[in-house]
Amino acid sequence: MDPKKSYKDQHKDQKKLEKKQEKYLKEQEKEFKKQEKELRKHGVGVGQYSIHNNKPAMAYQQPYHPGAGGVDPQVAQWFATVDQDRSGRISAAELQGALMSSNGQKFSESACRLMIGMFDNGTGSIDISGFQHLFQYVNQWLSAFRSYDSDQSGFINSQELSSALQTMGYRFTPQFVDMLATRFGDRGGKGLPVDGFIMSCILIQKFTEGFRQKDAQQQGVITIAYEDFLSLILTAWT
């Protein structure tokens, strides 16, 4: 074997690989800019960090498609963007810094803590696996929100909230839905924002899971001890 020829061949292969990578990165950058435009249009934007670095944020309507190895390549990109301290884990503060509503407001700290708490196993942060699970859930919720945010204002009213919840299998009385909209809605009376909607979805899911564990006969009615009731509430909020 001619070592010089082998070196040249390797060099050519490396150049070809670099060109492919460069082409891929340009295509990704173009796609990310397109997604960023859609995010702002439909109610979720990216924080200054991701804009400044031309990196993506969590998609508003991007479908969930796991890739090879179990982690979607785009999810890995978004994870790297949000993981600002490069610890390999994402905290609520880091997530809050990467998400904002259509009116330019960041997601609330409470919403981000609840989102992280879904998959943090009590640690206060999530790894890339937990982030991918969170990504899947949030995309489903945002898709439901967008479907009923008819004027694309980033807010929905009680009636729209009720319809959105019904698409996810929850049927509540108008009185309960009004209470949700008031509890998690905008104080200015604009309606329920994206992060408030996500908070209500997370808490409803957590309370429902806790309720079902007690409802052995699946009758929709349980008898619960006082401390068990408090534990159910506190667990849902952590």
pLDDT digits (tens, 9 = 90+) for 5-59: 454 554 555 555 456 545 544 554 555 455 445 444 444 443 332 222 333 333 3
Please, which residues have CB within 8 angstroms of residue 190's CB and are 6 or more apart in sequence? 153, 155
CATH number of the domain encompassing residue 160:
1.10.238.10
pTM of this prediction? 0.66
| Alpha-carbon span 164 to 182, nearest angstrom | 16
Query: Domain containing 167: what range?
Result: 3-236
Residues 119-151: tens digit of each pLDDT: 998 899 999 999 999 988 888 888 888 899 888
Q: Is the pLDDT of residue 77 over 60?
A: yes
Residues 151-208: tens digit of each pLDDT: 888 899 999 999 999 988 899 999 999 999 999 998 777 899 999 999 999 999 999 9
Element (H, E) at 193: strand 192-193
For the chain, helix, strand, coil in percent to 5 are 60, 5, 30
Contact 104, 72 (CB under 8 A): no
Residue that the structure tokens 């206060």 belong to? 124
Number of structural domains in the chain: 1
